[in-house]
Structure 1
Amino acid sequence: MGRPGVVMANGGDEGADGAPRRGRPRSIETTNAILQSAYALMATTGLAATTIDAIARHSSVSKMTIYKWWPSREALLIDAFLHHAAQMLPLPHASSGSPAARARRHAAAYAEALQGEFGKVQLAVISECISKTGSAELFYARYLQFRRDALIEMIAAGQNDGSILAEAPPQDLYDAIYGSLFYRYVFGIAPITPAYARTLVDLVLRPKS
């Protein structure tokens, strides 16, 4: 399944509504240059300085091309964050251990990422969405929903095979883990470490020993 505003496997691309756009397919190399430039600018100069003009200069891609491929600056910033997150925090593969073990690794990696530029950029992008649109719905639709659904499915698989003993709905278990990590990060309540994330996963999921 393609993602809104990103390159599809066949070389084409989708519009904001998920429907394939007509016309010349995107260049993957050019798309990556735009996304990498947008993320690099967000991480180094801040969100306010990450304008379409700045991204165009940094990536050596015309503004016309950028505006053609993204419906808004906010959509581009989210896709740039998604592009980086896919490399830094790939979704756990089914062959990489039990659902609980995969959940521990992913949550620990997320906790570690929050301590660096990744956490700052994520919070800045969410704040930008809320300030521009009044909600974080755009961030959820373009970034979080796909990843959340995949991890919920992983937790449900663990419940079905008996390796996860927690009986609550898998979406509630996911929210309890990642909501807690993000809540602690935003408000600086306590240090977030990979060890804490792994302990939290075990507390919430109650994996079978």
Structure 2
Amino acid sequence: MTSVEAKPVRRGRPRSSETEQAILESAYRIMASEGLAAASIDAVARYSGVSKMTIYKWWPTREALLIDAFLRQASSMLPLPDQGDPLARLKKHASAYVDALNGDFGKVQLAVISECIAGTGSAKIFSERYLAIRRNIAVGIIKAGQKDRSILASDSAGDLYDRIYGTLFYQYVFGFRSLTKDYAEKLVTSVLAKK
């Protein structure tokens, strides 16, 4: 291969995981402590010590950055383990989700969804970059439980997932009840452990 045929060299520095982490942590901390309006690209750049040019190079829109910051936080706060009894894993996850909703995480989640809807007219970007990924993982856990009979409910795994997490989110958003870990676990059991 001659030098003319060689692969073109990428310009600029490669994406640094430390820099990416600083940006995402900064964006989430600003959203959690000061609110979504304060989480501008300028503020994230100042807080993280990273240039706006770098941020815009890695995230095409503010919404994409804020969703990725939220996603990173969700992944660390709400892991979906790939081992163990499916029903127990989902009870633990739903319980952790309620705990997160009752903290800064819940406020940030609502704010990010609102930002997506206000900016684009739909929550599609939130769904694509966050919800669909996690929903697919949980649906896989439900299907595995249906297969090994630890989950007795025979409705589609997607419908079962929506009954659990849709209920929790709806009740959180509109304040119809005080959400507790115990309630979340009982909800999972009532949806998944009965035929």
- The TM tier, using the shorter chain, reads over 0.9
Q: Which has the larger Rg?
A: 2
**Cα distance, 1:91 vs. partner?**
1.3
**Cα distance, 1:25 vs. partner?**
2.5
Q: Which runs of 5+ in 2 are unaligned?
A: 1-9
Aligned with 2:152: secondary structure? coil
Q: Equivalent residues in 2 for 1:1-209 (5 A)?
A: 24-94=13-83, 97-206=84-193
Identical-pair percentage: 64
Deviation digits for residues 139-189 of structure 1 (CA, Å, limit 9, x no counterpart): 011111111000000000000111111010000000000000000000000
Equivalent pair of 2:142/2:157 in contact (CA under 8 Å): yes
**Cα distance, 1:24 vs. partner?**
4.1
Larger % of helix: which?
Answer: 2
Equivalent pair of 1:163/1:207 in contact (CA under 8 Å): no
User: For 2:64 and 2:191, how far apart are their aligned partners in 1?
Assistant: 33
User: For 2:120 and 2:165, how far apart are their aligned partners in 1?
Assistant: 24
TM-score (norm 2): 0.92
Change (3 A) 1:105 1:22: farther
Equivalent pair of 2:151/2:192 in contact (CA under 8 Å): yes
The one-letter amino acid paired with 1:183 is: Y
Report how many aligned residue pairs link the two structures: 186
Change (3 A) 1:187 1:88: same
TM-score (norm 1): 0.86
User: For 1:113 and 1:168, how far apart are their aligned partners in 2?
Assistant: 28
Aligned-residue Cα RMSD (Å) equals 1.4
User: For 2:30 and 2:126, how far apart are their aligned partners in 1?
Assistant: 19
Structure having greater relative contact order (Cα 8 Å, sep ≥ 6): 2
Aligned with 1:26: secondary structure? coil
